[in-house]
Homo-oligomer: A and B are copies of this chain.
Amino acid sequence: MAEIDTAAREQVATAARASRVAARRLALLSRADKDTALHAMAEALEAAAPTIVAANEEDLARGRDGGMPGGLLDRLALDERRVAAVAAALRDIAGLPDPVGEVVRGSTLANGLQIRQVRVPMGVVGMVYEARPNVTVDAAGLGLKSGNAVILRGGSAAESTNRALVDVMRGALEGQGIPADAVQLLEGGRDAVRALLTARGLVDLIIPRGGAGLIQTVVTESTVPVIETGVGNVHVYVDAAADLDKALAIAVNAKTHRPSVCNAAESLLVHEAVAQDFLPKVLAELSGAGVVLHTDAASGEAAEVAGIAHTEATDEDWDTEYLALEMAVRVVPDLDTALDHIREHGTGHTEAIVTEDRAAARRFTAEVDAAAVMVNASTRFTDGGEFGFGAEIGISTQKLHARGPMALPELTTTKWIVEGDGQVRA
């Protein structure tokens, strides 16, 4: 790996040190102070909506000139209504309980020492994400509420928008007597990002949010601890004992409800005992919803018979996160083959079984190694909002620290506080 440019390294170190100083203040703020600041940020964003929308226009114009696809332009776009929505998200965060100070466990030891494990902020959290301005505001809000300073690095396509948003939020923080450096935007090129990823000791945690490529880069280059998020090659397995009405509703919902997100299903596995009944229905409904079907031999034959458009699945299809109206379909002879398939191709995000058979459900939930395992429910439910967390900073697909939807508690660490009256070890 090439050396990181010294100027970039120094720029990031200076920024991170300023974040650390701010983080010390944030760690000691009361919930009331943080909530007041969140409301002030929300109001400031609404008041500055015209400026923010104008900055966003610059990004959009650059995007259009550069041939940015419509879907990405849509995610980048902010009008006054969307500014109001991100401001509302900050107010929602103000309404959530403060994770800092929660006593996780504790006891009094035989020698009289009182020990307790208490949630405290991580310190400085770096966020690396794509050109989605709502993430800029969400991350700043969740960071503040959890007592962390954040260093934000959004996609360069959203650079003017992010600058406007962060300026407004920093101003609002200062107005509340909170250091503006609680929220910083990382400017500069690729070397600045690499300097952030290697600022071990200055930055406590990096959270990447985006496509597989971005996450892979962060994971590989970072020496700061990382929480991997969001790559989901998600399966729905329809068991021999499935209620086929439920199976139909779940498969279609999991695939088509919002195909561009990580908890959308990508592959459908159907037990051969129900294939003849189930496939014509599900393939027709999927196809009718515009889903391109990549079929194995058996499901291809069923599609053929029913006159449903389909293409032959290649080896690659089983590992593809389409994030689009496409689905791979395979008929399996038994639960074991389904489990093997998921073990080989799954990414540990969300996997679902549809079955009325208690033993099959128990085996599936025990043996599938994923952040979320569903029985008779759409995979789309793996979501911080749906789980009742009130917010989500991402969905962790790693095993360390947090797994599945991450909200405020996942942005904290703990500290043991030990109180005695002179105890020493014998």
Where the two chains meet, the residues of A that have a C-beta atom closer than 8 Å to any C-beta of B are 1, 24, 27-28, 107, 109, 113, 115, 117, 120, 122-123, 200, 204-205, 219-220, 223, 225-227, 243, 245-246, 249-250, 252-254, 257, 361, 365-367, 369-378, 380-382, 386-388, 398-401, 403-404, 413-425
Closest to A20 in B: B343
Given contacts A205-B400, A373-B416, 12 further A-B contacts (CB under 8 A): A27-B369, A117-B404, A123-B399, A204-B399, A225-B398, A243-B422, A253-B424, A372-B415, A376-B419, A377-B422, A403-B413, A404-B416
A425/B115 contact (C-beta < 8 A), A366-B28, A375-B420, A416-B371 known = no
Closest to A253 in B: B424
- Whether B369 contacts A420 by the Cβ 8 Å rule is no
A423/B372 contact (C-beta < 8 A), A24-B367, A115-B387 known = no
Q: Would you call the interface of chain A mostly helix, strand, loop, or mixed?
A: mixed
Choice from B109, B205, B254, B387 contacting A399 with Cβ under 8 Å: B205
CB-defined A-B contacts under 8 Å, sample of 10: A27-B369, A122-B399, A123-B369, A205-B399, A225-B226, A252-B424, A372-B415, A372-B416, A373-B415, A373-B418
Residues of chain B with a CB closer than 8 A to A253's CB: 424-425
Choice from B204, B257, B374, B413 contacting A418 with Cβ under 8 Å: B374
Best-buried of A28, A227, A387, A424 by chain B (most CB within 10 Å): A424
- Whether A113 contacts B381 by the Cβ 8 Å rule is yes
Q: A253 vs B424: C-alpha distance in the bound complex, in angstroms?
A: 6
- Whether A225 contacts B415 by the Cβ 8 Å rule is no
State the Cβ distance, A39 to closest chain B Cβ, in Å: 25
Q: A373 vs B413: C-alpha distance in the bound complex, in angstroms?
A: 14
- Whether B422 contacts A376 by the Cβ 8 Å rule is yes
A401/B400 contact (C-beta < 8 A), A109-B388, A246-B422 known = yes
Residues of chain B with a CB closer than 8 A to A419's CB: 361, 374-377
A381/B425 contact (C-beta < 8 A), A115-B387, A205-B399, A225-B399 known = yes
Residues of chain B with a CB closer than 8 A to A378's CB: 423-425
Residues of chain B with a CB closer than 8 A to A372's CB: 415-418
What is the oligomeric copy number? Answer: 2
- Whether B225 contacts A400 by the Cβ 8 Å rule is yes
Residues of chain B with a CB closer than 8 A to A371's CB: 415-416
Residues of chain B with a CB closer than 8 A to A425's CB: 253, 257, 378, 380-381, 386
Residues of chain B with a CB closer than 8 A to A398's CB: 225
Residues of chain B with a CB closer than 8 A to A422's CB: 243, 245-246, 249-250, 376-377
Closest to A220 in B: B223
Choice from B109, B120, B257 contacting A386 with Cβ under 8 Å: B109
- Whether A403 contacts B415 by the Cβ 8 Å rule is yes
State the Cβ distance, A106 to closest chain B Cβ, in Å: 10
A415/B113 contact (C-beta < 8 A), A122-B399, A400-B400, A422-B250 known = no
Q: A243 vs B423: C-alpha distance in the bound complex, in angstroms?
A: 13
Residues of chain B with a CB closer than 8 A to A227's CB: 400
Closest to A366 in B: B28
- Whether B420 contacts A388 by the Cβ 8 Å rule is no
A403/B414 contact (C-beta < 8 A), A24-B367, A376-B422 known = yes
State the Cβ distance, A355 to closest chain B Cβ, in Å: 11
- Whether B416 contacts A382 by the Cβ 8 Å rule is yes
Closest to A383 in B: B425
Q: A67 vs B132: C-alpha distance in the bound complex, in angstroms?
A: 61
Residues of chain B with a CB closer than 8 A to A380's CB: 424-425
Closest 4 CB pairs between A and B?
A377-B420, A253-B424, A246-B422, A399-B413
Residues of chain B with a CB closer than 8 A to A381's CB: 113, 418, 420, 423, 425
Q: A381 vs B404: C-alpha distance in the bound complex, in angstroms?
A: 34
- Whether B367 contacts A28 by the Cβ 8 Å rule is yes
Residues of chain B with a CB closer than 8 A to A374's CB: 418-420
